[in-house]
Amino acid sequence: MFLDTDFLKNDEIRLALEKTVEGDAEKDWVPAYHFGILNSEGTRVGGCDLRIGHNDNVYYGGNIGYHVDENYRGNHYAGKACLLLFQLAKKHDLQYVIITCNPDNYASRKTCEYAGGRLLEIVQLPEGNDMRKSGEVEKCIFRFEL
């Protein structure tokens, strides 16, 4: 199920596999890869993950999640990581991926634009959604054609 990920690198960053997580049908979770984002010096500057598959949880939570440590922001590391993750998503025969963010998270919205996403909609999270239970209300839904 999980593939080799050594190819996830370019001249500026490398994605270092930290763990894989099997899907959980009971929780409606799809399998996922989790990576550290390393800069060209090998310093961990953030992290990202790729969730393989599509369902309601992925629509609201996204196929890709990312974060960049505060000291390393402003270098497009998240966007560059997304572009690398798109290659892995293609190897899993995904035709598209979804990335979501809160409407007021302008840095994440810029990342989605940098990586070529199309804003589908801004939606209210459904009542039973885990993110809603933790206080989140809305999500921007971006789609990326692979």
**Domains of the chain: residue spans and CATH:** 13-145 (3.40.630.30)
Per residue in 69-108, pLDDT (tens digit) is 999 999 999 999 999 999 999 999 999 999 999 999 999 9
Q: What value does the mean pLDDT take over residues 33-37?
A: 98
Q: How many CA atoms lie within 13 A of 119 on its CB side?
A: 14
The Cα–Cα gap between 16 and 77 comes to 14
User: What integer best gives the mean pLDDT of the chain?
Assistant: 97
Buried b (16+ CB within 10 A) or exposed e, 44-75: ebbbbbbbbeeeebbbbbbbbbbbbeeeeeee
Whether 113 and 99 have beta carbons less than 8 Å apart is answered as no
Helix (H) or strand (E) holding 79: helix 77-91
The answer to whether residue 125 scores a pLDDT higher than 90 is: yes
Average pLDDT over residues 47-59: 97
Predicted TM-score (pTM) of this structure: 0.95
Is residue 48 within 8 A of residue 15, CB to CB? The reply is yes
What does residue 132 show for φ and ψ, rounded to 5 degrees? -65, -40
pLDDT > 90? residue 1: no
- Which phi-psi region, left, alpha or beta, contains residue 53 (left: φ > 0; alpha: ψ -120 to 50)? left
